[in-house]
Amino acid sequence: MSETHSQEAHLARRLGLFDITMIVMGGIIGSGIFINPYVVAQQVPSTILIIAAWVFGGVIALAGAFIYAELASQSSVSGGQYVYLRDAFHPALAFVYGWALLLVTQSGGMAAVAVTFAKYVCALGHFAPNDAFEKILGAGALAILTLVNCLGVRAGSTTQNLFMILKLVAIAALVGFGLSVARWHALPAHVPIGRMPMPPPTPLWNSILAFGAALIPVQFAYGGWQTSSFVAGEVRDARRILPRGILFGVLGVIAVYVSVSFVCVHALGPVGLAETKTPASAVMRLALGDKGARIIAAGIAVSTVGFLSQSMLTTPRVYFAMAEDGLFFKPLAKLNRVRVPAFAIALQGIVAILITLSGRYEQILNYVVSVDVIFFALTAATIFVFRRRNGVCASGTCLHRQDADATFRVPGHPFTTLFFITACCAMLICTIYRYPSNSLIGVSIMLTGIPVYLFWRIIRKTPNTERPTPNIQ
């Protein structure tokens, strides 16, 4: 892939393996794992299938991590997916990705998480529910994190690491106390111990569809490992450290998610879990009473801030790369005195704050999954493009001399890569089947990026920004 630009060379490379691992985990673990287990249980009310959904989702995430690890090992510039799509296919596709990131997938998600943070803070402070106050509080959190990340990549990374560690402490408490809860505590009073009602058998096809539907919230909870590649230009020895950080981070999240889902179904049972919209709070309340519920509420609040911190640290690097290509506002490609793209960070903060204050975050969040999986599949396909360009056959048997110098190769390629692409396509089909209107709106917003790209090229009179054949090292 193409290497550094004039400004890119001046980004401060201050992030190490621990920072990247925490960034990966912080980008994945938000508030979803504390809530989504009940959504999964509603689709597949069986202990084995609930755990299987989270394990299978982890396998898909790991396959994706392998792909992004190989891509990260071949480029040390910031931008992540934007750079991969640009160099493999066309700048227009990369621009559409960045456009969707700004308007839908990242900003909408950040707004929703910011309001979730505000709701838990209000609950901890025993404030009466107030939508206006929650929006202002969420917007304030976004503004503070925007300023912190403008102070330098180390300041942003330190903040992110701190919240990630606190997040893991809260999850460890949930798992530890949850294992001490006997399942019968969670059963309705009229259900005899050991006589839990079993759902009637369903046809195989319906079971497959239900399992596919269960994977939608699972994959939403697992999403986010790809954002670590956005900051490649600020990682020391990026081609070696970034792939390791991606793999370590995803493996850590799989362990966390499977543990939490097991604890929830252990304490509440599959039926009880399906009927509990706040499973983490229910488990902690069973273990420690109201004190436990307050503890996990504080943990969820910390987790949401950690996610916002990670998003503010990583995503603006995409807009920075777009601006360097002449496809976005020129100031976004400028660095401040501490060598971070402050204008790009401010843009992300402003858009997320506006969506938070507008109250449109829940609607936008419904559009995220369909758009995300499209770009996941396309990014995975870049592996075939880059390998073919550099003398490596899709089967992996036709080696080029540069292959020996590569930091990382996807294990089991092309089968694992095709598995990930197939999983993304299946997820897209399930999402469209279950939520056709939301999927159509999400894809429509994404496609508005095409005329914007063409307009930008005409107005700015930028030269063709297609890259020459990448020199993967």
Q: What average pLDDT is seen over the chain?
A: 81
Contact criterion met (CB below 8 Å) for 273 and 188: no
Output 345 or 464, whichever has higher pLDDT: 345
What pLDDT is attached to residue 225?
76
Q: How does residue 391 score in pLDDT terms, banded at 50, 70 and 90?
A: low
Q: How many CB atoms lie within 10 A of CB 346?
A: 17
Per-domain boundaries in the chain: 8-460
What pLDDT is attached to residue 419?
94
What pLDDT is attached to residue 95?
95
CA angle 1, 220, 346 (to 5 degrees): 60
Residue 418 — φ and ψ, nearest 5°?
-65, -35
Q: What is the average per-residue pLDDT within 50-75? A: 89
CB burial class (10 A; 0-12, 13-18, 19+) of residue 83?
buried
Query: Does the pLDDT value for residue 404 go beyond 80?
Result: no
- Report the Cα 292 to chain-centroid distance in Å: 28
Q: Point out the least confidently predicted range of 9-18, 83-92, 136-145, 242-251.
A: 9-18
Q: Point out the least confidently predicted range of 1-15, 214-228, 451-465.
A: 1-15
What pLDDT is attached to residue 7?
45
Across 8-12, 159-163, 225-229, 375-379, the highest mean pLDDT is recorded for 375-379
- Bond into 199 cis (ω within 30): no
Output 357 or 9, whichever has higher pLDDT: 357
CB burial class (10 A; 0-12, 13-18, 19+) of residue 277?
exposed
Query: Does the pLDDT value for residue 473 go beyond 60?
Result: no
Q: What is the average per-residue pLDDT within 359-366? A: 67
Query: Does the pLDDT value for residue 32 go beyond 60?
Result: yes
What pLDDT is attached to residue 351?
92
Q: Point out the least confidently predicted range of 174-183, 196-205, 255-264, 386-395.
A: 196-205
What pLDDT is attached to residue 41?
87
What pLDDT is attached to residue 182?
63
What pLDDT is attached to residue 204?
61
Q: How does residue 263 score in pLDDT terms, banded at 50, 70 and 90?
A: very high
Output 309 or 205, whichever has higher pLDDT: 309
What pLDDT is attached to residue 390?
75
Task: Single out the residue of 71, 69, 50 nearest to residue 61, CA to CA.
Answer: 69
pLDDT digits (tens, 9 = 90+) for 76-123: 777 888 999 999 999 999 999 999 999 888 888 888 888 888 888 887
**Alpha-carbon span 61 to 67, nearest angstrom:** 10
Q: What is the average per-residue pLDDT within 388-415? A: 61
Q: How does residue 9 score in pLDDT terms, banded at 50, 70 and 90?
A: very low
What pLDDT is attached to residue 254?
93
pLDDT digits (tens, 9 = 90+) for 279-322: 888 899 888 888 888 888 888 888 888 889 888 888 898 999 89
Q: Give Dmax over CA atoms of the chain in angstroms.
A: 74
What pLDDT is attached to residue 200?
56
Query: Does the pLDDT value for residue 336 go beyond 70?
Result: yes
Output 109 or 200, whichever has higher pLDDT: 109
Q: Point out the least confidently predicted range of 266-270, 363-367, 371-375.
A: 363-367
Question: Domain 8-460: what homologous superfamily?
Answer: Amino acid/polyamine transporter I (1.20.1740.10)
Task: Single out the residue of 318, 416, 425, 411 nearest to residue 377, CA to CA.
Answer: 425
What pLDDT is attached to residue 292?
86
What pLDDT is attached to residue 467?
46
What pLDDT is attached to residue 10?
63
Q: What is the average per-residue pLDDT within 2-25? A: 70
What pLDDT is attached to residue 448?
93
What pLDDT is attached to residue 435?
78
Output 460 or 355, whichever has higher pLDDT: 355
Q: How does residue 397 score in pLDDT terms, banded at 50, 70 and 90?
A: very low
**Alpha-carbon span 174 to 98, nearest angstrom:** 36
Within 13 A of 468's CA, how many CA atoms are on the CB side?
3
* Alpha helix positions (H), 390-435: 415-434
Contact criterion met (CB below 8 Å) for 218 and 40: yes
Output 433 or 243, whichever has higher pLDDT: 243
Q: How does residue 185 score in pLDDT terms, banded at 50, 70 and 90?
A: very low
What pLDDT is attached to residue 471?
39
